[in-house]
Amino acid sequence: MDIDVDAGGNAYATGYTTSQNFPTRNALQSTLAGTQDVFVTKFNPEGTPVYSTYFGGSGIESTDGGGIAVDVAGSVYLVGHTSSTDFPTHNPLQPAYGGGQWDAFITKLAPDGRALIYSTYFGSSGTDRGNRIAVDSLGNAYVTLNVDSNDVPTVSPVQPAYGGGTEDSFLAKLSPDGRTLIYSTFHLPWRQRARSDSRRRGYRRLGQRLHRRFYRFNRFPNRKPPAAHFRWRPEGWLGGENF
């Protein structure tokens, strides 16, 4: 599940549900269409639902944390992944399911939640999963995905081809109307990123252990050491009691 908040204090939540009695209000899609649909709910500043809707096709839709953003006009942007060949599309950049276990989807809803501005598949012959979305002040959408094939569409790529491993990260920027891919590129392999994250966590834990030992044996042997926070950088780790 994920949430975003606009400047007026309205909250926008998304996630996925298998419930046939999920609470809807002013819904774009009032019933569960498949085994699992995503949902979008807007709450006013007092916590009252403004609209709440299912969204999906006859298969399975899912969204990871980070799958929602809202722009200055109140339009909602979603990213996730679907197994539905009849996922609801509108002004699509990619009108049909690309193949594999999942295709990513990218969707923009009107401020009242009752209409689609655009909704599109974004995928390849492999498995493509939508992860995160952000939007700028002009309405351009920025999405990240995990992909495992070489035929994901690229435009002006930093990395034009699949890097290997289990999955690659992928970044794309869409125009405000969703009809133009401004850029899209593979990024480093997912497995390589996981190893890098693991190494950073290992150095952080090592730094914290050394800090505790130094504090206990060299400064105040009878006192519990304060918390220390460490951040790994390529040139080494930085840390301190107030870091």
Domain locations in the chain as residue ranges: 2-189
Half-sphere exposure of 16 (CA within 13 A, CB side): 21
Those residues of the chain that have pLDDT short of 70 are 188-243
In whole angstroms, give the CA distance from residue 36 to residue 57: 9
pLDDT of residue 187: 83
In whole angstroms, give the CA distance from residue 81 to residue 56: 10
In whole angstroms, give the CA distance from residue 14 to residue 192: 30
Name the nearest CA neighbour of 68 among 137, 22, 5: 5
pLDDT of residue 66: 78
pLDDT of residue 166: 84
CA 242: distance to chain centroid? 31
CA 167: distance to chain centroid? 16
pLDDT of residue 221: 53
pLDDT of residue 5: 97
CA 15: distance to chain centroid? 11
pLDDT of residue 64: 80
pLDDT of residue 163: 85
pTM of this structure: 0.78
pLDDT of residue 228: 45
